[in-house]
Structure 1
Amino acid sequence: MFNEKFLEVLKHEGVVSIVTCGIKGAHVSNTWNSYLTIIDNNKILIPTAGMIKTQKNIAENPEVKLTLGSHEVMGYRYMGTGFLIEGTARFLKDGEEYNLMKEKFSFLTRVLEITVNSCKQTL
């Protein structure tokens, strides 16, 4: 699911935008590339301490989109590349994945788990 270029982007810091859409419309929250953990070749785990509106939207509609990138990784023509990820999400409050992330990020209160359906390079 995730190619080498995508995994290279995760080695560099950058902003990740998480887009959800609930009854009251779209909402965007942000995190960092370094906070993303890949498991099972098609899942992304993200530590969360806030993201209250994100969680509410996901309860109404689990479909999410993420964008992320790095200026430090070669794109199609120039330095800098980005990705659009689409999938479904849920919040975890316990379990194996939660414990894995809690060890890495002591500040988290929940884990945002995204099951990825599509990962496309955009730049």
Structure 2
Amino acid sequence: MSEKKKLSEKFYEVIDHEGVVSITSWGVVPHVVNTWNSFLVITEDERILIPAYGFRKTEKNIKVNNEVKLTLGSKDVEGYKNYPGTGFLIEGTAAYIESGEEYDFMKEKFSFLSRVFEVTVTKAKQML
């Protein structure tokens, strides 16, 4: 029996449009870092891979507490009740990938990365 998908079709529609992704971590100190919708790569098992160049404070936090929250959206994707735009709150756990097949794949797509920020999604909620 297959596991229920956490990421909806609407989520995929949102990441097909450009927008800001905010990643919040807390461990040493609360910290927010940003990236772009177009930098998100979703694996078959619904992990989110993000090219990381900086993300140093986030990395320090992840070593203490690997829980993260991501928010993202697009004004170009219709939300609930014809709302002009929609967004998501994603909760999950994070890790860094520094070698291997997924690292190589991401490095080919995003030459600037020094690591891959991996989020294992535990919850995804459409907000608008």
Q: Find the partner of 1:44 among 23, 29, 48.
A: 48
For 1:47, the aligned partner's letter is P
Unaligned runs of 5+ in 2: 1-5
2:25 paired with 1:4: no
Q: CA deviation at 1:43?
A: 0.1
- State TM-score, norm by structure 1: 0.96
Q: Find the partner of 2:20 among 8, 15, 21.
A: 15
1:76-117: per-residue Cα shift (whole Å, max 9, x none)?
021100000000000111011101100100000000000000
Do the aligned residues in 2 keep the contact of 1:2 with 1:41 (CA within 8 Å)?
no
SS of equivalent to 1:107: coil
Q: Find the partner of 1:30 among 31, 34, 38.
A: 34
Q: CA deviation at 1:40?
A: 2.5
1-structure distance, mates of 2:63, 2:55 = 12
SS of equivalent to 2:26: strand
Spell out structure 1 runs of 4+ moving beyond 4 A: none
For 2:100, the aligned partner's letter is G
2:104 paired with 1:99: yes
- State TM-score, norm by structure 2: 0.93
Q: Which residue of 1 aligns with 2:61?
A: 57
SS of equivalent to 1:98: helix
Q: How many residues align?
A: 122
Computed over aligned residues only, the root mean square deviation of the Cα atoms, in angstroms, reads 0.8
Q: CA deviation at 1:61?
A: 0.4
1-structure distance, mates of 2:76, 2:12 = 13
Q: Percent identity?
A: 61
1-structure distance, mates of 2:37, 2:14 = 8
Q: Which residue of 1 aligns with 2:3?
A: none
1-structure distance, mates of 2:101, 2:63 = 21
